[in-house]
Structure 1
């Protein structure tokens, strides 16, 4: 007998290994039906090994995961991959939903081509539940952060005598415009946070300057301009605030032609999110009534935004703004 073939004693040892592996082991034929399953695998499914024999693994699989399961089996059978690693859900006999991480590979035969695969099944249900709980907690914390930032921005409106709802309107329009420009969700979150805090630095501006109804003197205007640097310095102390959000706070008064403040940045050197926000902010300021001016009609404000393309604003962002129905995104309408 060739020494590389299992002896009867080896066969007994292999069977013991199969039975006592400490992990779920399942042999599945190329049609997807269970040929053999060890006690750990049967326990995972909440059935006996005899009851599971002959069942299709697809009948035990959560419906949404069936296409991925079929694809993984086909790739192993066709030899596209030597092993497929798959996280998927199964439905136990009692209806409980379980998560597994399975490793699937061909099961060689002593003679002839393989006609089955072996799947090693690890139960990761508790791990997935913990992961989902952490994700839910993260979403809750994110919502709390965003609510706090927006609340702070809206509180600033009261001191600055801004029209009610300015912060919320500009934030929503900015995000809508950013989405139309193809920004991903992480970048849009930075835009949202920066928009909420864009005038944070006005907390440091004296009332005599901030609330003055008439034209500011050169000295007063220099004091007013400090609000972007001061706002940036305050916002930078918020540990979870992204660099892109801080750029909105610092650079939303820069101008495309380089005559803005605080750093006199020019053109594309101005951070993209600040350029997006600036258009929405100015449009809302023009169409809002303030102590020193009446609200401009919608069309007059659009004409002004168009005229400032290439001067105050990025002309491509102006074009996108004017082409959007984002102007109608107005969760806090003007009174």
Structure 2
């Protein structure tokens, strides 16, 4: 296909796209106007319903107050003269029967005394079903609103009755809440009107056909064929007004919840309004606009095709040059004929762009190398912070990482994958930051609760790496699943077989082997021969069979490679405990500038311990939420504090000097002070690093148990 034809097709498609965008925009605006109009109509209907309900209550209120203040009515009721009340009130009640659905008197114990709408029914107790009557007789105040009675829902107003200062009972006036009320509403806005009870709301109605969730009343001759989804019913039950469309989009539904006198949702109005003419109009509008768009695009395309011609030939050369660049070859020299028109300017800009791209790629390569160095420093610091707490596990993570990397290399991993596996090995126990020392260093058998605490370190490590950002993402699953077993009996998720990531399976073998050949407080180290026998014995049950095969068959090469890796990056601990402080040293690389921060704030909040970061002037510059909870200070108060304000007066000067003199990682015990003045013992893992050219200290603080606090820290 020629360049001319390609440009024609491209421009034609673009023009067609513009016309379609215009058409869609016009249709959307029309639809939005319609939906806004429907929304306004629905809101108006909602206001009308609320107004009419209030009007019904007001009518009943006026009648109730008028009768309750009538001296003759008060006297006849106080004398319990039922016949006298009938003679006095029945004629006027029948005359207003269209407005008042019921009028009755109740005794103080909520027993029905007289029903003007059913004179022959009296003497029955309403205490179990008519809560408005109970509340009025109890509080001697007016109670008004919607309530369900034995004959259905109605607008009720109940007022207390008195005679010569003595409470004689209550008077109730009710108005209709049925089809008559709905037909009255339909006079304002046309539509199909239904009233439903909310499903699962208990009912006191006597009739069997009035089940919860069924129709209460309707002003429509049509059966309700517009079902509602459970989600909408849930919103109605929460008291929300809902505007929606039917499934066929031909009807607009207005759903208004109604509340009883106590403010509890009891049901909802359902008003269905026809919108079929509107949807048909929108369909025709779309059809016309799309047709216009296609025809307009064709006309414009033909005009563009006429003016293209030979004038675009020079672009072919530029396209060929661009194709060379898109292959990633920025070193190849691109020669283009010089021109003095716009295409010549484009050619010159393109050549400048290629030169800039060469510079950017070179700068990115340098930045990538620096980023890799900063990442390694961060990983080493985090790994050392874990191992600094236990002299028995010094260099364990380094050895596991080196063995795992060697295994991965022999299994055909790329250099990048092997490096990621190495870093995962360094961090595989980072989750133990949040586990107390008395569990980590316990010489005897762990309790079930203590073992559960140990198991949690895989999840904690995963969360810390996840919070650290995308750069740690490939390592997080390896750390999380390195205690899974091939037969599915491991933790934290009981993965089985190939479900376990390969990196995690390699870490499992490396971790187990190094643990077996290392001494622990609760056992002596095994020989390498015995450890290898255990690894082979557990192949296919605990360990990935292929990983075990590679490890055993290439054992000498793997160990030789791992020893070289471990020697290059080992953490040494020549001093052991000295005085109040147990000093441990990191390689000097930890003090390199820390300009590249890997989601530092995320790491702080993910660590289970209290984290405090001090500046070179010993000012508190960063902390996590756990620090605020432990010390009792607010975020604003912490921002103005120094190290001396957190240390006890006895330890303050000594500890500041200790921290400032430190060049790597140290673990020591001290006493800190809370906001309320309480002094309490802590163990601090102190990490020295340099950020933006200034030395800083990161403290991981763990509050000691009273028994541990009393031990000799020397």
- Is TM more than 0.5 here? yes
Say yes or no: does 1:305 pair with 2:305: no
Which one of 395, 399, 411 corresponds to residue 169 of structure 1?
399
Which one of 214, 225, 231 corresponds to residue 461 of structure 2?
231
Say yes or no: does 1:252 pair with 2:472: no
Aligned partners of 1:150 and 1:196 also within 8 Å? yes
Map of 1:256-295 to 2, 5 A cutoff? 256-295=486-525
Superimposed CA distance per residue, residues 190-222 of structure 1 (whole angstroms, 9 cap, x where no aligned partner) = 312221211111011122212211110112111
Aligned partners of 1:286 and 1:296 also within 8 Å? yes
Separation (CA, whole Å) in 2 of partners of 1:234 and 1:82: 47
Separation (CA, whole Å) in 2 of partners of 1:122 and 1:255: 57
Aligned to 1:47: none
Superimposed CA distance per residue, residues 58-96 of structure 1 (whole angstroms, 9 cap, x where no aligned partner) = xxxxxxxxxxxxxxxxxxxxxxx999837778xxxxxxx
Quote how far apart the aligned CAs of 1:165 are.
1.8
Aligned to 2:425: 195
Superimposed CA distance per residue, residues 70-124 of structure 1 (whole angstroms, 9 cap, x where no aligned partner) = xxxxxxxxxxx999837778xxxxxxxxx444269xxxxxxxxxxxxxxxx9464
Say yes or no: does 1:137 pair with 2:367: yes
Aligned to 2:684: none
Say yes or no: does 1:327 pair with 2:559: yes
Aligned length: 234
Separation (CA, whole Å) in 1 of partners of 2:546 and 2:369: 34
Structure 2 residue matching 1:230: 3-state secondary structure: helix
Aligned partners of 1:88 and 1:101 also within 8 Å? no
Aligned to 2:324: 85
Aligned to 1:217: 447
Structure 2 residue matching 1:159: 3-state secondary structure: coil
In structure 2, do the counterparts of structure 1 residues 82 and 194 end up closer, same or farther at CA, with 3 Å as the change threshold? closer
- Determine which structure has more spread, i.e. the larger CA radius of gyration: 2
Say yes or no: does 1:102 pair with 2:348: no
- Extract unaligned runs of 5+ from structure 2: 1-313, 337-349, 573-714
Name the structure where strand makes up a greater proportion of residues: 2
Aligned to 1:149: 379
Of structures 1 and 2, the one with the larger relative CO (CA 8 A, separation 6+) is: 1
Structure 2 residue matching 1:155: 3-state secondary structure: helix
Separation (CA, whole Å) in 1 of partners of 2:322 and 2:478: 48
In structure 2, do the counterparts of structure 1 residues 257 and 100 end up closer, same or farther at CA, with 3 Å as the change threshold? same
Structure 2 residue matching 1:288: 3-state secondary structure: coil
Structure 1 residue matching 2:334: 3-state secondary structure: strand
Separation (CA, whole Å) in 2 of partners of 1:129 and 1:241: 24
Structure 2 residue matching 1:236: 3-state secondary structure: helix
Structure 2 residue matching 1:320: 3-state secondary structure: helix
Which one of 422, 438, 460 corresponds to residue 208 of structure 1?
438
Which one of 526, 537, 550 corresponds to residue 296 of structure 1?
526
Superimposed CA distance per residue, residues 276-314 of structure 1 (whole angstroms, 9 cap, x where no aligned partner) = 111111111111122222221111111111111011101
- Extract unaligned runs of 5+ from structure 1: 1-20, 26-80, 90-98, 105-120
In structure 2, do the counterparts of structure 1 residues 82 and 258 end up closer, same or farther at CA, with 3 Å as the change threshold? same
Quote how far apart the aligned CAs of 1:134 are.
1.7
- TM-score for both structures, normalised by structure 2: 0.31
Aligned partners of 1:209 and 1:220 also within 8 Å? yes
Map of 1:3-152 to 2, 5 A cutoff? 85=324, 99-102=331-334, 122=351, 124-152=354-382
In structure 2, do the counterparts of structure 1 residues 241 and 293 end up closer, same or farther at CA, with 3 Å as the change threshold? farther
Superimposed CA distance per residue, residues 142-186 of structure 1 (whole angstroms, 9 cap, x where no aligned partner) = 221122112211221121434322211211221121121112233
Separation (CA, whole Å) in 1 of partners of 2:509 and 2:329: 46
In structure 2, do the counterparts of structure 1 residues 83 and 215 end up closer, same or farther at CA, with 3 Å as the change threshold? closer
In structure 2, do the counterparts of structure 1 residues 163 and 202 end up closer, same or farther at CA, with 3 Å as the change threshold? closer
Structure 1 residue matching 2:485: 3-state secondary structure: coil
Structure 1 residue matching 2:467: 3-state secondary structure: coil
Quote how far apart the aligned CAs of 1:137 are.
1.2
Aligned partners of 1:150 and 1:167 also within 8 Å? no
Superimposed CA distance per residue, residues 207-259 of structure 1 (whole angstroms, 9 cap, x where no aligned partner) = 22122111101121111111111111122101133433111111000111111
Aligned partners of 1:88 and 1:100 also within 8 Å? yes
Separation (CA, whole Å) in 2 of partners of 1:273 and 1:284: 17
